[in-house]
């Protein structure tokens, strides 16, 4: 993995990690975030979606606090695992998702 691909490891914001940073639970949350930092966007979303399936749907707010991913993203990852869709296989983002190409944001670049 190159330096540009390396993602910062999210620090869990749950009450346990704040009050007992050396507890077993805090270590587990750190381990989850270390794994997530090594994944691309799609696999990060699906990995947390898998945890949501295993921990139950009431865990989504907690997982959001632990991982820093939005509840919407976690729901989407969970949905993608429960309803695999051939259209999305092999893609990191849905067609049309993400930032605009730089040429579209700054047409002056094309005139040089
Ligand atoms: Zn935590």
**C-alpha 8 to ligand 1 mean position (Å):** 16
pLDDT digits (tens, 9 = 90+) for 34-93: 999 999 999 999 999 999 999 997 999 999 999 999 999 999 999 999 998 655 566 667
**C-alpha 83 to ligand 1 mean position (Å):** 29
Query: Distance between CA 104 and CA 65 in Å, rounded?
Result: 35
Helices (H), the chain: 15-19, 24-37, 41-55, 60-67, 71-82, 102-105
**C-alpha 18 to ligand 1 mean position (Å):** 7
Q: Hey, CA dihedral for 16, 21, 23, 26, is it positive or negative?
A: positive
Domain ranges of the chain: 10-84
């Amino acid at each position: 993995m190159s330096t540009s691909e390396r993602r910062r490891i999210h620090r869990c914001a749950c009450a346990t990690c704040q009050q007992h940073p050396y507890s077993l639970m805090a270590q587990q949350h750190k381990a989850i975030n270390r794994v997530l930092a090594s994944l691309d966007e799609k696999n990060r979303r699906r990995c947390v979606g898998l945890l949501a399936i295993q921990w139950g749907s009431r865990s989504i707010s907690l997982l959001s606090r632990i991982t820093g991913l939005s509840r919407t993203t976690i729901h989407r990852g969970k949905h993608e695992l429960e309803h695999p869709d051939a259209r999305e296989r092999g893609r990191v983002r849905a067609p049309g998702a993400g930032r605009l190409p730089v040429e579209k944001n700054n047409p002056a670049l094309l005139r040089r």
